[in-house]
Amino acid sequence: MPQKNSRRDMIKKVATMAVASTAISGLANRVSAHENVMEDKLKGKINHSVCAWCYQIPLDDLCKAAKKIGITSIDLVNPKDFDILKKNDLTCAMVASNGKDWGITRGFNNPEYHDKLEAYFKEYIDATAKAGFKNLICFSGNRNGLDAQQGIENCAKGLRRILGYAEKKNVTLVMELLNSKVDHHDYQCDHTNWGVDLCKSLGSENFKLLYDIYHMQIMEGDVIRTIRDNHQYIAHYHTGGVPGRHEIDDSQELFYPAIMRAIYDTGFKGYVAQEFVPAQPDPLASLNKAVHICDI
pLDDT average, residue stretch 198-219: 98
Other residues' Cβ atoms within 10 Å of the Cβ of residue 216: 24
pLDDT average, residue stretch 26-51: 64
Query: Smallest Cα–Cα separation from 284: which of 50, 99, 18?
Result: 50
* Whole-number Cα distances in Å, 129 to 33, 169, 171, 173, 230: 41, 6, 6, 12, 27
pLDDT average, residue stretch 60-69: 97
Which of 13 and 196 is assigned the larger pLDDT? 196
pLDDT of amino acid 17: 44
List of E strands, 104-243: 135-138, 172-176, 207-212, 234-238
pTM of the model: 0.86
DSSP letters, 74-139, are EESB-GGGHHHHHHTT-B-SSB---BTTBSSSS-TT-GGGHHHHHHHHHHHHHHHHHHT--EEEE-
For the chain, give the number of residues.
Answer: 296
pLDDT of amino acid 39: 54
pLDDT at 23 over 90: no
With bands split at pLDDT 50, 70 and 90, how would you rate the model's confidence at 269? very high
pLDDT average, residue stretch 183-193: 98
pLDDT at 82 over 50: yes
pLDDT of amino acid 139: 98
pLDDT average, residue stretch 93-107: 89
pLDDT of amino acid 49: 98
Query: Smallest Cα–Cα separation from 295: which of 56, 27, 37, 4?
Result: 37
pLDDT at 83 over 90: yes
Domain 42-294 class, CATH top level: alpha beta
Mean pLDDT taken over the chain: 89
* Whole-number Cα distances in Å, 105 to 19, 51, 244: 63, 20, 21
- Note the pLDDT tens digit of each residue in 131-166: 999 999 999 999 999 999 999 999 999 999 999 999
Q: Is the distance from CB of 120 to CB of 160 less than 8 angstroms?
A: no
